Structures are given as structure tokens and as C-alpha cells.
Chains A and B, each alone.
Chain A
Amino acid sequence: MFRELGALTRREFLKLARNPAAIFTSLLLPLLYLLLFGNGFTINASSFGVTTPQQIAIFDQEFFRGAPNYYSYFSAGMVGFVSVTATLFIGANVIFDKLFGVFKRVRGTPAPSAAVFGSRLIAGAAQPILLAFFVLGLALLLGHIPGLHGLNVTASVGVLGSLEVLGAIVLLSLMFATLFLTFGILIDVPQTYFAAVNTINLPVLLTSDALYPWGFMPPWLRTVSQYNPVSLAVNVIREALFGSAAYPYGPGIYLLGLFAWTAVLVGIAIALVRRALRPLE
């Protein structure tokens, strides 16, 4: 099992390394969001005439869940955002491998379905995880460039906070990589795959508080957002970066919720993929 997993994972990383265009475009999207979109919305408490320290603190709690400005709120949300968007193509690669016969070759060997699925999951989840840290690092860096807005961390992030951020990114990436990889294995037609992915991807992102300012959300959307896995991950990250005062629960609860989402989806994926990749069709 481990030899098969190792060989197939190596293949995935070799292919990735030989596709610099894909690496460049995956970096370009968050770069543009952070440089153009984020810097275009330079909203903070003073934008609304709030000036006293007490009022600013209340405003930040209410509107940006403790973040000192929209950019900081938004860049933490971008970490969750890219953890989802960077997994979108994982299943499409499976479909193209089916069309080009590569998948047939692998299925013609006794490599277990766990190795076939696991190798793609490892490579597919590694990309959003690395990209999420790239976004965090870039947002922090931009804060030190004069004339640009960047991420301002207002809480002291200790070892535990760092581990919580890591856990949230890993779980969220793993969850969506599993979901879209399962789609890729079950679906044979690229158009059908992208339709299915967009049916999931856009509603999930748009009902989360990854980019949407909490203070501007209608009450019903806040309720929906509380159970959204992207919001759960972003809550963990924001609590670590800006403190827990604006949140009813500690990061452990949100991580638990995220873990539950991931566990349920992985469980469903295992059942479906084992059926789809059984030795005899």
C-alpha cells in the first residue's frame, strides 16, 4: 500500500513541478486580491466617524470581529478563501487523466483504491495549505510596505495559536480537496464536473464571512454563516490573530465543528470512492 501510495504521490508532485504556469496562476489570484481588491476597501472605524477608543473597540468587535480594519479582517478571510479555491481543479485533473488513458493504466494495476485516492489527496491538499501560508505571509509583508495596507495582528499568537491556524487550514483544505476529488472520480465529463464544483463552491464562499464584513451581514446570513465550514476555519484564524472577544466560542469549538464537517465528508467520500474504484467494474 505504501509503495503504491509513494509512487503515485511522486507522480503528482512531478507533474505539478513541471507545470510552472499552474503554480504562477495559483499565486496570482491571491496576490491580485490582496493588492487590488483588499487595498480598494480601506474601511475602518474612522470611515464611519467613529473616533473614541471605546467606540472604535466596539465597532471593530461588531463589524470586523476584532480585526482593526477591513483589510486585516479580509486577509484572514482570504486564507480560508484560497484553501477552497485552490482545490477546485483537483478533480478536473482526474477527469483529464481518464480522458488521456493514464487513469486506465493505474486501474490496470493492483494499486489499492486508497493509494489512488490518497496520492491525489496529498498532492491536492498540499497546494492550498502552502498557498494559505503564502497569503498569510504576503498580507503581513504588505503591512510593512509604505502606502499599502496589510494584515495587522493585534493578539499575541503563541505556539497554540499557530497550531490552531495550521489545524484550521489543514482541515479546510483536506475537506474541500476530498469533496472535489470525489467529484472527479465519480464524474467523467469535464463540463459536468465544473458545473457540480460551482454549485458547491460559490454558495459556500458567499455564505461565509471570509470576505463579507460581519457587521454588514443580515441576521439570517449570520445564522447560516455560523455553520459554514469556511467561516469555522476563518473564525479560528481570526481568533488567533485578533483575539477571542468578538466570538461566543473559543477556537477549539470551531475546530471541532470543522473536524466534524471533514470527518463526515471523508466518510462519504470513502464509501463512494471504494465503490467507484472497486477492482472489477
Chain B
Amino acid sequence: MKGSEAVVTENLTKVYGGKIRAVENVSITVHPGEAFGFLGPNGAGKTTTVSMLTAGLRPTQGSAIVNGLDVEKFPDEVKRQIGVIFQESTADGDLSGLENIEVAAGCFGIARSEGRARAKALIDQMQLTEAANRLAKTYSGGMRRRLELAVGLVNEPRILFLDEPTLGLDPQGRAGFWGFVQKLRKETGVTVFVTTHYLDEADGMCDRIAIIDHGTIVASGTPGELKDKLGGDVVTLKTASSSMDLTAVLRPLPGVSSVQRQDGTYRVKCASGERLVPLAVDACSKAGALINGVIVKRPSLDEVFLEFTGREFREEEGPTATDQAVQGLRIRGALRGRR
């Protein structure tokens, strides 16, 4: 049922300038109350997708239903029912934290007295009470992010969109931010749609994940399901000798699905790393090889990403093709005197 889901998209597509296909045929469903992670490297189409879902950008094709409302037909109604934390800071540095939230409340048509009450409550909730009357430009990065979260919650949204919310924060700031989001989920049951390229965050925070690359969804499921698609654990064995090939010794061991050798190091995919290690050490020793290092890894989302995209999951340097196309269109629009 589309109407009862938090987010439903069908073949959602965005094409810039008739050429750059930033998002192509994205079909996803986000259930009410769940935390949905939208993963991908820079330029994959995450922010474009979020912009379409939050009624900021018109889709070229396909449909997006948010909280039962067609985004194209009811953009203002959609905006009333969602909260958005943008990738970049949007807090007004010349206003205090409290004033930033009050102004945002006013923008949702909330009466000034009610807006003030909500602002105070949110400031307390985000542990910004001490800094409530300080200008936002004096806030640290972590405080600014918490202020952004408070601003995004002022209309008591049913769905919270977080677009790379912890970008640029230190590990402590990231952990603190996610702590607030988890607490919020527990207390209000709000649906969370988060884009990130911090895989560890998505792994720990999200109920389900979709991976987007070059504008299309390449994999989706729970973090566990995605990892299971890799075929279990990865055991890395380091031997003292690089001349001896142990591939034939390791491959017949129970549960082993593949063995990759690089000099004296072997990357063995298997059903259970813990069960394989004693068997592998024993077999290698009988073959006359000395094992001097063993690493057992549960498959991580980094490996999932590598598996589905064929690339390392890392931040790309420089602007992406989509960034360049959008910037070019903006400049041309500005020169023509319109957006």
C-alpha cells in the first residue's frame, strides 16, 4: 500500500539539461518508523534523490510519494510533514540558536508563542541550553549540526531526511549526533531517511539500506542481508614464505568458497571464519608452511560496496560530473537572468 508507506518511489529519474542522468529509475519503499540508509559515493545521486523527495526538485520522470502525498502535486503539504537536515549548514549565523528555531517555526505557520515554546524544548533536547542565546556563528561544528537537527524537528515531522548529516564532523561529534537521532527514533517513532558515505554509520544505524551508484540502485536490503550476499566471513592468512602456493591446500577445507593469493597472503572467503582458522593453520603446517598472521573479518558494508560496484568506497576528489553539470546550468541561468 503506497499510502501507508513513509516513502515510495517508482522509476524516479532526474535528468539535468537533457543529458546528465543524475538519478535513473530509482524505485524504493521506506516503511514507517524505520531508518533507511541511502548509500553511495559523491555524485552517485543521493542528494538529487533527497531533493526530489523533499519537494525541492521536480523529477524528470517517475513518481515519489511521501507520507501518502504525491510530491509533485502537493509540494507544500509534503514540506509540512517532513524535516530536512541539509548537507551544508543552513543556520543563520547572525541569529541565536533559539532565534533560528523560532524563525523556522514561523516559516511553518506556527504561532510565535508556540514557536518559542517548541524552540526552548528543542534547544534543551539537543543539549544546547547554555548556548541558546549565543549567535549561531559562534557554535562548534557539532553544535551547529545539533541546531540543524532542532530546526528540522520544529514542525514535528513524520519523516526526517538527513542528507550527509555528519559530513565534516569528528568521530566524537558523529557519535553524539547519531545518539540524538537514535533517541529521537525511540521516543517519537519518526521515520529516518539518511544519506551517508560513512558505511559504519549506516551499518549501526539503519534497518535497511539501498546502495546507489551512477544514479541507479545497485543493491538493497538489511545490512545483514547485504553482507550475507558476500558469502560469509573473510579470513586473511599471512605466511612466512611467498614462494610456496597454498591455494590447493586451503580450497578443499570445509566451508571455503574462494581463495585469493597475493604473494604470501591469502584472502579466504568462508562460511565461518572461527571454524576455518584452526583447520587452515593445521593444513598449512602439515604442508610445511608457517602461518605468522591471521585476520578474521565479518563482511563489512565497505566490502558490500566493493562487491556491487567494483570500486572502493571512498570520497572522490574534485567535483563530480553531476556537480559540474548543475553548476554550469546555474551559471547559464544566472547569465540569462533566471534560475
Binding site for B on A (CB under 8 A): 3-4, 6-8, 10-11, 14-15, 18-19, 100-102, 104-111, 115, 186-189, 192, 196, 272, 275-276, 279-281
Interface hub of A102, A104, A105 (most chain B Cβ within 10 A): A105
Q: B76 and A101: CB pair below 8 A?
A: no
Contacting A at CB under 8 A, from B126-142, are 135
Segment at the A interface, from B4-12, B34-42, B94-102, B184-192: B94-102
Among A4, A11, A189, A280, contact of B95 (Cβ-Cβ < 8 Å):
A11
Q: 1/0 per residue B153-167: CB within 8 Å of A?
A: 001000000000000
Q: Least Cβ distance of A195 to chain B in Å?
A: 11
Q: 1/0 per residue B318-333: CB within 8 Å of A?
A: 0000000000001101
Q: B56 and A107: CB pair below 8 A?
A: yes
Give chain B residues whose Cβ lies under 8 Å from the Cβ of A115.
Answer: 107
Give chain A residues whose Cβ lies under 8 Å from the Cβ of B1.
Answer: none
Give chain A residues whose Cβ lies under 8 Å from the Cβ of B104.
Answer: 105, 109
Q: Least Cβ distance of A112 to chain B in Å?
A: 8
Summarize A's interface: helix, strand, loop or mixed.
helix
Query: Is B115 at the interface (CB under 8 A from chain A)?
Result: yes
Q: A105 and B151: CB pair below 8 A?
A: yes
- Given A105-B151, A187-B337, A192-B335, A3 contacting B106 (CB threshold 8 A): yes
Query: Is B84 at the interface (CB under 8 A from chain A)?
Result: yes
Q: A15 and B95: CB pair below 8 A?
A: yes
Give chain B residues whose Cβ lies under 8 Å from the Cβ of A275.
Answer: 338
Closest A-chain residue to B331, C-beta based?
A189
Among B88, B109, B135, contact of A110 (Cβ-Cβ < 8 Å):
B109
Closest A-chain residue to B338, C-beta based?
A186
Q: B112 and A14: CB pair below 8 A?
A: no
Q: B84 and A3: CB pair below 8 A?
A: no
Interface hub of A102, A107, A110, A115 (most chain B Cβ within 10 A): A110
Q: Least Cβ distance of B120 to chain A in Å?
A: 16
Interface hub of B90, B104, B115, B135 (most chain A Cβ within 10 A): B90
Give chain A residues whose Cβ lies under 8 Å from the Cβ of B76.
Answer: 110, 279
Q: B94 and A101: CB pair below 8 A?
A: no
Q: Least Cβ distance of A22 to chain B in Å?
A: 11
- Given A7-B112, A100-B93, A104-B90, A280 contacting B55 (CB threshold 8 A): yes
